[in-house]
Structure 1
């Protein structure tokens, strides 16, 4: 039964749970804790899938053989099948993650070179001092926007803004935007996105969900917004997002982020603590209630006492 419970849990955490969690509004009050919760959901789903693959052959062995027959060839087949099934899941996930990481870094390297080539010779006095390891690049453009390109070993990260951003934002708003992008670089939010992208690509199409990708991306932006708010105030961060929202579609996440700041949304410690506890419980509770009892019964079958 452990394999059935774990398979059900994996399907639940891969589909319905992300769909419900993505619709929740309270997560926007505690973006950092909510991201940890999303990571726990993803980790628990993977662990449940691997656990189900490991437990399924042993469960079939129990169903179709008598206790005295669970040795020799049948046992070897069950153990081998469990290893192959679990290995396929792990190898698939690791392979997707490695391939994605390599492609992403090649693309970023080209992007950094292109940004350096096209950048204007711009003084950054109005922006303030960037932290070590980060370079400001200004591109020609009539639409205000900003983004960052993470660096790698021996290469500095880039904060990229358009000329329209410098023209339309006041100094405080511009500094808030730079602080936002710097927060992405400092906390390596790109690695969080890579992890969820790899999980999305590795899961079968019938159970994968875009809700996790989109929800985590929005929460990461809100987390970086909070960094800008702390350093330069709500008005500066919201004013910058006002300028960006004018050039964005009505349903763009920029409007949601601006409205959140205008509403002065701040999560309490109790909500954050509860979210962290829920994240821990997602991994610990199935381990205690399903995995440990299964191992207690299954290990003697393969000669482990």
Structure 2
């Protein structure tokens, strides 16, 4: 039996139905790190499902080919002499999945390189106009709007405007710096590059669009939770409010931005950690989703 129909149906469910279920669920904002992992797992599973679908379509079973040949004959087309040989099918079966893998890997490398180049150029500008503060372990930038962001990568750097240093309390500045340090230590730029690469290859897919948007939001929540370990809700929320209008340069991750309102509601509203049973069931489901396309493509033998 050819597994292509099952794999195609599975890929459609992951690419179109799963994002709706994730967006309607309440747990992702309670466990943002786990939610990021689930979004990435769905992207990987979809990629595997599409690649295996292409493989199985290129290697159809004999009776499927005979049925298609008979259909074409009934339409007056003689395709007997044009039947592709085994070598052609083999090349398609390997080439199409390989092309998908190469496109994803190449896109990931492209986004990483482009962001790294932008960060390098920005660091050079900061060396000219900014000053390093040993007390803050950050670069202070002359800017009349409270702002803070980080430049992750091999030479990470946290940047804060002098307006933020002047107008925020020491506790608020500490919470902001802790937020930015969470982005650096968590290597969040790699997770963002991964979903950007997936979106570039599957641009019209709902999963690709929502995975990119939600990953950016959820990673900010992960950094917020890191800051809340040592600072109160009020301190972080007021600091975020003061920096809501700030924008980060390309390749940087900022504490402010367009996600502030959603994050403020989360911080100031009632928060409840997910039950360990819920956490475990979601993690187990994510693992199963990752393995399902392989099980569909290689079903256990009967008998």
User: TM-score scaled by structure 1?
Assistant: 0.82
Once residues 232 and 113 of structure 1 are traced to their aligned partners in structure 2, the CA distance between those partners, rounded to angstroms, is 32
1:80 pairs with 2:79: no
Once residues 246 and 114 of structure 2 are traced to their aligned partners in structure 1, the CA distance between those partners, rounded to angstroms, is 30
Hey, which of these two has a bigger chunk of helix by percent?
1
**1:145 alignment partner in structure 2:** 147
Once residues 65 and 262 of structure 1 are traced to their aligned partners in structure 2, the CA distance between those partners, rounded to angstroms, is 64
Alignment counterpart, residue 289 of structure 2, candidates 269, 273, 282 = 282
**2:226 alignment partner in structure 1:** 227
1:255 pairs with 2:261: yes
Alpha-carbon deviation of 1:124?
4.9
**Residue pair 1:172, 1:236 contacting (<8 A) in 2 also:** yes
**1:180 alignment partner in structure 2:** 179
**1:93 alignment partner in structure 2:** 104
Kindly tell me: are residues 111 and 22 of structure 1, through their superposed partners in 2, closer, same or farther at Cα, counting changes over 3 Å? farther
Runs (5+) with no aligned partner, structure 1: 67-71, 131-135, 298-305
SS in structure 2 at match of 1:137: strand
Alpha-carbon deviation of 1:26?
2.1
**1:22 alignment partner in structure 2:** 23
**Residue pair 2:19, 2:206 contacting (<8 A) in 1 also:** no
Once residues 123 and 189 of structure 1 are traced to their aligned partners in structure 2, the CA distance between those partners, rounded to angstroms, is 24
**2:53 alignment partner in structure 1:** 52
SS in structure 1 at match of 2:159: strand
Deviations 1:213-248 (A, max 9, x none): 110100000000000000223232222112223779
SS in structure 1 at match of 2:143: coil
Kindly tell me: are residues 207 and 223 of structure 1, through their superposed partners in 2, closer, same or farther at Cα, counting changes over 3 Å? closer
Kindly tell me: are residues 246 and 190 of structure 1, through their superposed partners in 2, closer, same or farther at Cα, counting changes over 3 Å? closer
**1:192 alignment partner in structure 2:** 191
Runs (5+) with no aligned partner, structure 2: 68-82, 248-256
Kindly tell me: are residues 264 and 168 of structure 1, through their superposed partners in 2, closer, same or farther at Cα, counting changes over 3 Å? farther
Aligned length: 277
Deviations 1:153-193 (A, max 9, x none): xxx31111112211221111111110110010001000000
Once residues 206 and 265 of structure 1 are traced to their aligned partners in structure 2, the CA distance between those partners, rounded to angstroms, is 32
SS in structure 1 at match of 2:243: helix
**Residue pair 2:52, 2:293 contacting (<8 A) in 1 also:** no
Once residues 143 and 195 of structure 2 are traced to their aligned partners in structure 1, the CA distance between those partners, rounded to angstroms, is 31
Alpha-carbon deviation of 1:264?
4.3
User: TM-score scaled by structure 2?
Assistant: 0.82
**Residue pair 2:203, 2:209 contacting (<8 A) in 1 also:** no
Once residues 37 and 153 of structure 2 are traced to their aligned partners in structure 1, the CA distance between those partners, rounded to angstroms, is 24
Give me the CA root mean square deviation: 2.6
Once residues 209 and 2 of structure 1 are traced to their aligned partners in structure 2, the CA distance between those partners, rounded to angstroms, is 24
